[in-house]
Amino acid sequence: MPENEGKRCFMRSLSYWSNKTLESNMSQVLYVKQSFTAQIPNAPALLSFCAKNPSKFAYHAGTPGLTVHGRMEEREYRDLLSLYPGQSEVHAELRQLRGESQLYLLVD
């Protein structure tokens, strides 16, 4: 086999295995969650909190659920906690909601 032919075979083989390694190490995102909801009781200041940023927060009185669209920031989380002083069950729900929202991926 001529030297050039051997180099071409080697390069094709190397290229094939490089692509296979890349494919096996890649992740596929099949679904990106856009919003996150927690069962939170209504509080007088909650509706005004949501009204300050209606594109990000919504309260659904019928379910009672607080929905956040996107990632909840630390400041927003602390503001929500202050609406429910001494209510550890609500604090736990808000903590879980904030944690889930940190998984939000911005889709370009």
Give 62-75 pLDDT, tens digit per residue. Answer: 888 999 999 999 99
* pLDDT tens track for 27-39: 665 666 788 999 9
Say if 42 falls within a structural domain: yes
Say if 9 falls within a structural domain: no
Say if 16 falls within a structural domain: no
Domains held by the chain: number: 1
Say if 107 falls within a structural domain: no
Say if 95 falls within a structural domain: yes
Which tokens is 36 given? 């996150």
Say if 106 falls within a structural domain: no
Higher pLDDT among residues 4 and 27, named by residue: 27
Say if 81 falls within a structural domain: yes
Say if 56 falls within a structural domain: yes
Domain encompassing residue 47: 35-101
